[in-house]
Amino acid sequence: MKTQNVLSVNKTLPYDATFLKVFISLPQINEIASSISKNSIVEGANEIAWALKALMLTDLTTLAGDDTAANVRRLCVRACLPFEPELFDKYVERRLLPEIHCAAVCVYPARVEDAHKTLKQYGKLKDISIAAVATGFPTGQYGLQTRLGEIGYAIEAGATEIDIVINRQLALVGDWEGVYNEVVLMRKACGERAHLKTILAIGELGSMENVYKASMVCMLAGADFIKTSTGKEAVNATLPVGLVMIFAIQEFKRRTGQIVGLKPAGGVRTVRDAIAWMTLVKQTLGMHWLQPHLFRFGASGLLDDVEKVVRDGIAKLKQA
């Protein structure tokens, strides 16, 4: 058993169906998201800064059937050391440069111990979280006790964040209290040993109203984050969906005072994608939300584009 710190986690609140009352104008949502996307283009040094910001908000992810200890180790090393420090020496004193690393690594429960060993070796266990997908990821089509047991297994192996999938079958028949009751049990399984990130699988919920309702019941159940997707659906993170989830976060905060984070996952592959999301959050929730304890990207390929943008941008600055 790994040593677990007591974490500050969100409280479970009583189920209240009045939180689910919503009317969403899809054309208006799409218009707002499109406008924000058009105004999110940055260049030059600003693009480098935003790219590095995106990196430090990323849960670097590998969720493949052929994951091994070796490739999880490589993932963790890359999360710890994405750039050589001397790359920035000409532009900022190294002592003034913030430590650049990913916010977390995200793996299957069976690979958590591999991630824990590597991060411990590099002295990063306090800086980089270990997130584990659980509860029958990505489908959730397992018995409830099996799903709950998977949470405990991942935490015992060293996970400090658990990304659970909600029961879409209950959501699709409108049994929102049933969804709530299951997530409450998952919150209890995490306790104060791990933060709970609830994956809505928005591409399988059928409507924006269902996205809003799923967000609300997960937050009532005690979620620390609401997350768009598993990355395995046909439709994953999109700005209109993100805006609906943000509206739910805002309304939940207004009514309860409880703050919940947001994690887009699946489909965020480029720095421009990431900047569009960060702009959306900045203009709705505020710049203070762009911190790892409130906002994350779930991504496997984003870091490739971050590296390209940063290295190309620095090369251009050197030529100027």
Evaluate whether residue 298 is within a structural domain.
yes
8 Å CB contact between 67 and 111: yes
CA nearest to 111, candidates 88, 137, 93, 86: 137
Q: How many domains does the chain have?
A: 1
pLDDT for position 85: 79
- Is residue 11 in some structural domain? no
Domain-embedded: residue 279: yes
Per-residue pLDDT at 97: 66
pLDDT of residue 95: 59
State yes or no: is 21 an active-site residue.
no
> C-alpha distances in angstroms, 141 versus 90, 136, 169, 197, 285?
53, 6, 9, 18, 34
> Is 201 inside a domain boundary?
yes
124, 197, 213, 263: which is the annotated catalytic residue?
263
Closest listed residue to residue 161, CA positions, set 201, 119, 109, 202 = 109
**2 part of a folded domain:** no
Where residue 202 sits, what CATH number does that domain have? 3.20.20.70
For residues 138 and 134, give the distance between their C-alpha atoms in angstroms, rounded to a whole number.
Answer: 8
Token pair belonging to 20: 């689910």
Does residue 9 sit within a domain? no
The encoded tokens of residue 66 equal 């052929």
Shortest CA distance to 299 belongs to which of 240, 230, 246, 235?
A: 230
Is 11 a residue of the active site? no
Does the residue 73 lie in any domain?
yes
CA angle (245 as vertex; 244, 249 as ends), nearest 5: 120
Domain range enclosing 270: 17-319
C-alpha triplet 142, 147, 148: angle, nearest 5°: 155
pLDDT of 164 reads 98
Q: Can you read off the two tokens belonging to residue 107?
A: 């793996």
pLDDT (0 to 100) of residue 3:
63
pLDDT at 88: 79
User: What is the per-residue pLDDT for 238?
Assistant: 93
189, part of any domain: yes
Report pLDDT for 44. 74
Q: Are 258 and 223 in contact (CB under 8 A)?
A: no
Residue-by-residue pLDDT tens, the chain, 320 positions: 566 678 899 999 999 999 999 999 999 999 988 888 887 777 777 899 999 999 999 999 999 999 999 999 999 999 999 998 788 777 666 655 678 999 999 999 999 999 999 999 999 999 999 999 999 999 999 999 999 999 999 999 999 999 999 999 999 999 999 999 999 999 999 999 999 999 999 999 999 999 999 999 999 999 999 999 998 888 889 999 999 999 999 999 999 999 999 999 998 999 999 999 999 999 999 999 999 999 999 999 999 999 999 999 888 887 76
Residue in 124, 197, 213, 227 annotated catalytic: 227
Burial class (CB in 10 A: 0-12, 13-18, 19+), 90: exposed
Cα→Cα distances 223→44, 55, 199, 252, 261, Å: 38, 24, 10, 12, 9
